[in-house]
Structure 1
């Protein structure tokens, strides 16, 4: 016996809502974010400049990240 699926409806493919005309695309950042490798390298330079004393690794990391984001070293 064959089954009849006449009552079963297939739903049309859903489309993503259209973008509103009021929404403006974000402008790309002028400078890409530094990579973890770049931050780590700069933090190590800061560590060496402090004389290689331990205990300030987080401060070194944050300083390195801040300097690289601002484009200075």
Structure 2
């Protein structure tokens, strides 16, 4: 049975395959390209927040257990423009 299926796949088809109609390519404006947007002043980067949170951690004396509070405080300060 394997020989029959191999012969069937090698035989030419009766109807030629039709190609799909080709549509012209649309140009994408350069401004709409998939580049990452630049951070705005009100949206500090994670790296900036992490650095400020570490400064807050050191200012507290390096005590563990308040990393989320440090992160939220750093994020709040950076959004308001304070450091």
TM-score range, shorter chain: 0.5 to 0.7
What's 1:52 paired with?
62
Aligned positions of 1:1-73 closer than 5 A = 31-73=41-83
Q: Which has the higher helix share?
A: 2
Q: How many pairs were matched up?
A: 60
* Max Rg structure: 2
SS in structure 2 of the partner of residue 72 of structure 1: coil
Alignment deviations for residues 39-70 of structure 1 (CA, whole Å, 9 cap, x no partner): 00000000000000000000000000000000
Q: TM-score, normalised by structure 2?
A: 0.52
Structure 1, residues 26-49: CA drift from partner, whole Å, max 9, x if none?
xxxx72410000000000000000
Q: Which residue of 1 aligns with 2:17?
A: none
**Runs of 5+ unmatched residues, structure 2:** 1-39
Give the TM-score taking structure 1 as reference length: 0.59
Q: Which runs of 4+ in 1 moved over 2 A?
A: none
Aligned mates of 1:36, 1:53 — CA distance in 2: 22
